[in-house]
Structure 1
Amino acid sequence: MDNYTGIPGSDVLRSLADGQLVAVTYIPRGEQVDEAVRREIVRHRSLRHPSVVRLRELALTPTHLAVVSEHAPDLYRRVRDAGRFGEDEARLLFRQLVSGVSYCHSMQVCHRDLKLEKLLLLDGGCTGPPRLKICGPGVSKRNSQPGAPRASDQTGAYIPPEVFQQREYDGKIADVWSCGVTLYAMLVGSYPFQCPDDEPRNFRKTIQRIQSVEYSVPDDLNVSAECRDLISKIFIADPAARITISEIRNHPWFLMDHLADDSRMSTKGTEQPMQSMDEIMQILALAEAPYPGDDMEEFVDSDPYIDITTS
């Protein structure tokens, strides 16, 4: 990994080619590079959209498979530092979120774990507005595999009511609910179904509020009637009655002041993958080999992808 600078083995490095920060996930070589990992990586590479985190490349160290992707501060930190966003800023970011989710769904991929911490925010600087990007392992979960009724699929405040029922649920409709929680958090600066008076570990009350859709938008906040209407159409317990992504994109609040058409962003102009699929598969095949131990020198000579400077 001599194309990056930083502390070897750290999870954030800087690209020497373009100066961008990258996130690096290290997976031990050998049996942990299993079918699930291979499927995750191949699917991630197939997603090319301005609002989805890009898989830059794979690399090998003597002991680990390194998965290199885009990196930026997450949206949680931005909301925490700002307290809350105004409607215009929230709408801009929400459009990008919905655009990325819509694209993933069109590729038959559901996220199932959307939350502020899984959304990166790249500073547009002088070139334009901030750019939101979706990341997270849940992005590889195919819609053809219905979600099991497990609360662990999503984090706390973002879980839709149907996840608590003893039946499978539609990942696309669950993603809509999580988009709504994200929008609410940006506008209000807190989560819709959590109360600050609750005990820190008392999740039971939150579950009860989620199932009964017990929330409110504070009256003293300057949140428009159109925005409140959209939120009310998202927070519906019955998945069949909940607004869809397509309907969100045609909602009056979503379309308001729609000068930059973020909701219809094209994949045209998205950067080409740095590695071909053949290269990806070759690296994955090599990564299945376990750490060679004392035979390192001989092994390095036989493995063209290894860069021993990152060990």
Structure 2
Amino acid sequence: MWQFTETLGEGAYGEVVLAKNVNTNEFAAVKVIDINRLKGNDVVIRKEIDLHKLFRHENIIRFYGYKQQYSNYYLFLEYASGGELFDKIEPDVGMPEYLAQHYFKQVVAGMAYLHSLGVAHRDLKPENLLIANNNVLKICDFGLATLFRSQTTKEERKLTTYCGTAPYSSPEVWAKTPYRGEPVDVWSCGIILTAMLTGELPWDQPSYQNPEYKRWLDRDYYHNPWKKIDNMILNLLRRILIHDPGQRAKVNDIQSHRWISKVYPQDGTESDHQLLKRMAYSDPSEHLVHRMTRVVLAISFDETIYLLNRLFVHTGYTPKRTAGNQITVVTQDKRHTELIFKVNVFKIPDSKIMADFRLSKGDGIEFKRKFVEIRDRLVQLATAWSNGGGGSAYFNHSDTSSTLTAGNNSVNQLQEAMDT
């Protein structure tokens, strides 16, 4: 018997929840797919299941099985306790080079395995890369994956479904021309590496009309994000992010590049590798709260909802109460592309409230940047409440968690703080 405990993420057709086996205390990630959202296109899910059954690799999330019940499919998957790679990327900063190298080598290894089976993922991005025990990276979400090469005849076919996430998509996919499977995944890996090293995406679309992409084609590397990147790594990216897929680096080219074999010295402090290894042996339900885009408040549920709504309105966002404990926010990113995220508010132990921010649509890095702005405003509010004598307040932040705890204040006090 399985008990659903936490929502880990959501997608176009449903959500992913953390499930605990009450008999064995084992954990699994369960992808719950609402058949009604498929609108008769059940073949999409059947294809994902059939492909996922093929995979047996350290850097691919394991598929345990599935069942169909009432109006839902339930896909039982390996639970990766370290969360998404996306959550390790600090906006405008990224992560240390040695850590980016550690993750990147595993992305490439997993991608190489998929390609050896004739499978293209077609939606590689930090949100679809999970961190499991011992800091092992796992590729997940095969909803857009497809076979580009026959397993019997070894004949390769051109693909004509133009899918994926725009900032990570290759030029040929964006231009809607028939394309080969392997080069589009290689391109996405280059964008992932850029995001890991710089905390930003180079462009929102790889088209000649995009000024950032045009600068890249003109070899203008004197602007962000490229000026943040070491020349050795930039050399690798120049081989990956080539407009012509026929000239683009192959997996072997990437794996043999000198940066991949570079050895980074470690200091005496606890590394992210050691931290994640230590976290991996704790109860998954305990360290989920350390995901960056969650905020903990020591105020009431109603005060939290009120405060969030006021904050969103003051910031110029459009909030809407879409459920009793959920606020959906619509805004735009810096490129004026629509950005939608949801905030679920619920009670946690010690009489505290958690506000869980999750991206629904748009650029993940931009979403995290927006979250940081919101978090910083909450810091100001907490300071104002503290200085006003309305209760104790403190804020703790690390690269893996952001937590605000504020003392008990009345709604009037909250409004007064908002207006300061």
**Into which bin does the TM-score normalised by the smaller protein fall?**
0.5 to 0.7
- Structure 2 CA distance for aligned equivalents of residues 154 and 208 of structure 1: 21
Matching of residue 53 in structure 1 with residue 61 in structure 2: yes
Q: CA deviation at 1:112?
A: 1.0
TM alignment of 1:125-164, pairs within 5 A: 128=134, 130-138=135-143, 140-144=145-149, 145-148=157-160, 150=162, 153-164=163-174
The 8 Å contact of residues 171 and 243 in structure 2, kept in 1 or not, is answered as yes
CA-to-aligned-CA distance 1:269-310 (integer Å, 9 cap, x gap): xxxxxxxxxxxxxxxxxxxxxxxxxxxxxxxxxxxxxxxxxx
Bigger relative CO (Cα 8 Å, ≥ 6 apart): 1
In structure 2, what is the equivalent of residue 111 of structure 1? Answer: 121
- Cα pair distance change 1:54/1:33, threshold 3 Å: farther
In structure 1, what is the equivalent of residue 305 of structure 2? Answer: none
Equivalent residue in structure 2 for 1:232, among 215, 222, 238: 238
The 8 Å contact of residues 24 and 68 in structure 1, kept in 2 or not, is answered as yes
- Cα pair distance change 1:211/1:20, threshold 3 Å: farther
Equivalent residue in structure 2 for 1:15, among 17, 20, 39: 20
- Cα pair distance change 1:163/1:212, threshold 3 Å: farther
More helix by share: 1
Equivalent residue in structure 1 for 2:110, among 100, 124, 129: 100
In structure 2, what is the equivalent of residue 64 of structure 1? Answer: 72
* Runs of 4 or more consecutive aligned structure 1 residues displaced over 6 Å after TM superposition: 7-10, 202-206
- Structure 1 CA distance for aligned equivalents of residues 193 and 100 of structure 2: 7
CA-to-aligned-CA distance 1:107-137 (integer Å, 9 cap, x gap): 1000111111111122x3xxx3x12111123
In structure 1, what is the equivalent of residue 342 of structure 2? Answer: none
Equivalent residue in structure 2 for 1:169, among 179, 183, 207: 179
TM alignment of 1:35-46, pairs within 5 A: 35-46=43-54
In structure 1, what is the equivalent of residue 202 of structure 2? Answer: 192
Letter in 2 for 1:6: T
Matching of residue 257 in structure 1 with residue 256 in structure 2: no
In structure 2, what is the equivalent of residue 3 of structure 1? Answer: 2
In structure 1, what is the equivalent of residue 253 of structure 2? Answer: 247
- Structure 2 CA distance for aligned equivalents of residues 106 and 41 of structure 1: 19
- Structure 1 CA distance for aligned equivalents of residues 138 and 116 of structure 2: 17
Letter in 1 for 2:48: E
The 8 Å contact of residues 112 and 138 in structure 1, kept in 2 or not, is answered as no
CA-to-aligned-CA distance 1:129-154 (integer Å, 9 cap, x gap): x121111234631113522263xx12
Equivalent residue in structure 1 for 2:131, among 113, 121, 127: 121
TM alignment of 1:81-92, pairs within 5 A: 83-92=93-102
- Cα pair distance change 1:219/1:205, threshold 3 Å: closer
In structure 1, what is the equivalent of residue 31 of structure 2? Answer: 24
Letter in 1 for 2:131: L
The 8 Å contact of residues 52 and 100 in structure 1, kept in 2 or not, is answered as yes
- Structure 1 CA distance for aligned equivalents of residues 54 and 234 of structure 2: 36
The 8 Å contact of residues 212 and 237 in structure 1, kept in 2 or not, is answered as no
The 8 Å contact of residues 180 and 234 in structure 1, kept in 2 or not, is answered as yes
Q: CA deviation at 1:253?
A: 0.7
Percent identical across equivalent pairs? Answer: 27
Secondary structure at the aligned position of 1:46 is classed as coil
Q: CA deviation at 1:19?
A: 3.3
Letter in 1 for 2:19: R
Uncovered stretches (5+) of structure 2, i.e. residues with no partner: 8-13, 150-156, 266-420
Q: CA deviation at 1:38?
A: 2.1
Q: CA deviation at 1:236?
A: 0.9
Q: CA deviation at 1:93?
A: 0.1
- Cα pair distance change 1:218/1:80, threshold 3 Å: closer
- Structure 1 CA distance for aligned equivalents of residues 43 and 211 of structure 2: 38
Uncovered stretches (5+) of structure 1, i.e. residues with no partner: 195-201, 260-311
- Structure 1 CA distance for aligned equivalents of residues 101 and 262 of structure 2: 9
Secondary structure at the aligned position of 2:200 is classed as coil
Secondary structure at the aligned position of 1:12 is classed as strand
- Structure 2 CA distance for aligned equivalents of residues 104 and 84 of structure 1: 27
The 8 Å contact of residues 211 and 237 in structure 1, kept in 2 or not, is answered as no
